[in-house]
Chain A
Amino acid sequence: MKFGVLQFPGSCDEVDALEAARRVGDAELIWHGERDLKGADAIVVPGGFSYGDYLRAGAIARFSPAMESVIDFAGEGGLVLGICNGFQVLCEAHLLPGALLPNENLHFTSRQVEVEVLSGGGAFTRACGPVTHPPQRLSIPAKHAWGRYYAESETLAAMDGSGQLVLRYAPGENFNGSLHDIAGVCNEQGNVFGLMPHPEHAVDELMGGSADGLRIFESMRMTVEGATR
């Protein structure tokens, strides 16, 4: 399978995302000005500070030609993963519900976080194995200043009911003030997923002691190859 990794002016995690994707399949960069998604089976919208985070994080990137194609791709059921700034872009593009607001403590924070895998978002978490009680955990880094997930309470209740809550900060790990400790959500159809922590930075135990992030990319490979076989 092939991943397409978007690159905006101000992206900074696209190379790690490419590297992570290449551990499970092929991957190619897609410049934000291009409309052609190069035959990718899945899209990664990477982290960074697209367009300098001007106005609001993700607000301007959402209108780039590549994102217009990604919106169509998602509408046709294609898998789209948004990481950190990519999550913000997907919310601004209305591919995901809710918004990311400045961290409650107003600090840019970079640290390893423990997140729990919830029942939703199977297309992106199936390589984590069955959902357990207590939930399985992934140890992956987070680094952001705008990561406080917000959605209206009725929206949150509907998302909970339809399995759209995918990752939750483990007790004591919610450093940004996200509502209900939400770290990652998917759309109603389950083919678009956004999370604030960075799975692409945790794909080798040599780097930071955890390869848990690889399971997100592996899950996407399983989903795509299951679909094409």
Chain B
Amino acid sequence: MLIRPKAGILDPQGAAVERALPALGFAGVGNVHVGRLVELDVEDEAQLQPMCERLLANPLVEDYEVQLLDGGV
């Protein structure tokens, strides 16, 4: 699960990284956002969305995206 700050909500972590990159010589960087990655094994994929809604993300301030890896459909 990829969890990131919702668009339009101030993301000070992303802004700090965006300011730091040019200081190291990386030019042309914009729109930096910092989120979270949650990896897990699950038997029933149908549980993933409710997991995100109820615990892993706060849908008021975060968007989430579910990606199925090995064996996923």
Contacts and interface: CB of A to CB of B under 8 A. Distances in A.
Contacts of A59: 55, 58
Interface of B: 9-10, 12-13, 16, 36, 55-56, 58, 60-61
Contacts of B13: 102, 106
Task: State the 9 A-B residue pairs at the shortest beta-carbon distance, nearest first.
Answer: A99-B61, A99-B60, A106-B12, A104-B12, A99-B58, A56-B58, A150-B61, A102-B12, A106-B16
Interface of A: 55-56, 59-60, 63, 92, 98-99, 101-106, 148, 150-152, 177
Contacts of A103: 12
B58 A92 contact: yes
Contacts, number: 33
Given A104-B10, A104-B12, A105-B12, A98 B60 contact: yes
Given A59-B55, A177-B12, 18 more contacts: A55-B36, A55-B55, A59-B58, A63-B55, A99-B60, A101-B10, A101-B61, A102-B13, A103-B12, A104-B10, A104-B12, A105-B12, A106-B13, A148-B10, A150-B9, A150-B60, A150-B61, A177-B10
Contacts of B16: 106
Contacts of B10: 101, 104, 148, 177
Contacts of A92: 58
Nearest to B54: A63
Q: Name the prevailing secondary structure of the A interface residues.
A: loop
Contact of B56 (A55, A102, A106, A177): A55
B19 to A, nearest CB: 11
Contacts of B61: 99, 101, 150
A148 B13 CA distance: 13
A175 to B, nearest CB: 13
A105 B9 CA distance: 14
Q: Name, among A59, A101, A151, the residue most crowded by chain B CB atoms within 10 Å (CB to CB).
A: A101
Nearest to A97: B60
A103 B56 CA distance: 21
A63 B58 CA distance: 14
B9 A101 contact: yes
Nearest to A179: B10
Contacts of A177: 10, 12
B60 A152 contact: yes
Contacts of B56: 55
B32 to A, nearest CB: 14
B3 to A, nearest CB: 9
Contacts of A151: 60
Nearest to A106: B12
